[in-house]
């Protein structure tokens, strides 16, 4: 199979294209011909060598990175009954996948518990953009913060891959949604449901907000979020690690979210999509090493809108 790999940790320009043997299915897994895969911030951390155990436990060089994918099932293990050859699916690979088993490749072997069927109307690129970013947002908004109608939530970093999903999920639950972003992203955020967009370049959230019910932090500004969170409110972050003092606050709940998406989470996202409550913003690039390098560099610039996807085939 064709794969885009690294042979050492380092800068984005270390990626190159090579041929690798396909991994073999087991009785409990399925093989997928990958249609598209998306690039996440954790991919950048992995490439740079910042991830540790359990991610790296099974890694060897040349290393195929990547977790998100969409694809078409080509083989089905004998114990798998839910899926069949030809099904189009999307999902995520194990966090500790083997070094030759990432999604930056033409094929992958996957656990049926970590995939769902692509619904009608969703493109393979949109499906590839959904698993980690959409799953992270869904867990935060629908599960950990459990946002209710008429609550006010601040989403820090609304235009990024996770933030854009979070804005829409919170809006679908009847919340008043306030988010931070640059002015270039204001129109898009209003289009997908944001009630108020704060320009973080010029305005601190504490200057214009107070007593919000919940905060979802995707950018690492835990301190800023806490200044506007009401007593008894909850803050969930995926952007930074709370300090011991923040975790010990007597009147506010602060937690770091360890995200793990599965079929149940994906099915929740599919329901929103089929109800026209979830718009999936993607930028697609063809399957080349040069475009993987470009995608990594764009994400490192911290100025992405939605998700970057590498398209292999329809």
Cis peptide bond prior to 184, omega within 30° of 0: no
Q: 113 near 263, Cβ under 8 Å?
A: yes
The Cα-based distances of 146 to 6, 131, 132, 214 in angstroms read 40, 20, 19, 9
Whole-angstrom Cα distance, residue 215 to residue 199?
17
Confidence of residue 303 (pLDDT cuts 50, 70, 90): confident
Cβ–Cβ < 8 Å for 166, 215: no
pLDDT digits (tens, 9 = 90+) for 50-71: 999 999 999 999 999 999 999 9
Question: Which residue intervals of the chain bear CATH 3.40.50.720?
Answer: 133-256
Q: Is the pLDDT of residue 144 over 80?
A: yes
% of the chain at pLDDT higher than 70: 100
- Topology of domain 2-130+280-311, CATH: Quinone Oxidoreductase; Chain A, domain 1 (3.90.180)
Residue 158 has pLDDT above 80, yes or no: yes
Of 104, 86, 90, 129, nearest to 14 by C-alpha is 104
Q: What proportion of the chain, given as a percentage, has pLDDT over 90?
A: 96
The domain over range 133-256 is classified in CATH as 2.70.150.10: no
Q: Which two tokens stand for residue 152?
A: 């006010």
DSSP lists the bridge partners of residue 68 as 92
pLDDT tens for each residue of 107-126: 999 999 999 999 999 999 99
Pair 259, 238: CB distance under 8 Å: yes
């Amino acid at each position: 199979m064709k794969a885009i790999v690294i042979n050492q940790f380092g800068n984005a320009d270390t990626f190159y294209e090579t041929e690798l043997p396909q991994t073999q299915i087991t009785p409990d897994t399925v093989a997928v011909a990958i249609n598209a895969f998306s690039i996440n911030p954790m991919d950048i951390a992995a490439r740079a060598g910042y991830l540790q155990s359990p991610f790296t436990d099974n890694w060897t060089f040349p290393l195929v990175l990547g977790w998100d994918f969409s694809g078409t099932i080509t083989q089905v293990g004998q114990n798998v009954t839910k899926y069949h050859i030809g099904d189009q699916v999307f999902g995520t690979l194990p966090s500790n996948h083997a070094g030759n088993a990432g999604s930056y490749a033409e094929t992958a072997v996957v656990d049926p518990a970590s995939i769902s069927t692509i619904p009608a109307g969703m493109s393979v690129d949109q499906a590839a953009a959904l698993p980690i970013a959409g799953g992270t947002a869904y867990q935060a908004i629908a599960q950990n913060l459990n946002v209710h109608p008429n609550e006010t939530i601040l989403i820090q970093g609304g235009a990024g891959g996770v933030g854009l999903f979070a804005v829409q999920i919170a809006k679908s639950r009847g919340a008043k949604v306030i988010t931070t972003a640059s002015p270039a992203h204001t129109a898009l955020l209003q289009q997908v449901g944001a009630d108020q967009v704060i320009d973080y370049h010029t305005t601190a959230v504490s200057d214009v907000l107070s007593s919000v019910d919940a905060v979802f932090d995707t950018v690492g500004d835990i301190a800023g979020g806490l200044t506007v969170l009401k007593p008894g409110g909850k803050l969930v972050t995926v952007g930074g690690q709370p300090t011991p003092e923040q975790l010990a606050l007597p009147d506010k709940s602060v937690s770091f979210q360890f995200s793990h998406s599965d079929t149940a989470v994906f099915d929740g996202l599919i329901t929103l999509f089929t109800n026209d409550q979830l718009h999936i913003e993607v930028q697609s690039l063809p399957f080349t090493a040069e475009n993987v390098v470009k995608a990594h560099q764009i994400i490192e610039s911290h100025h992405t809108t939605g998700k970057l996807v590498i398209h292999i085939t329809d």
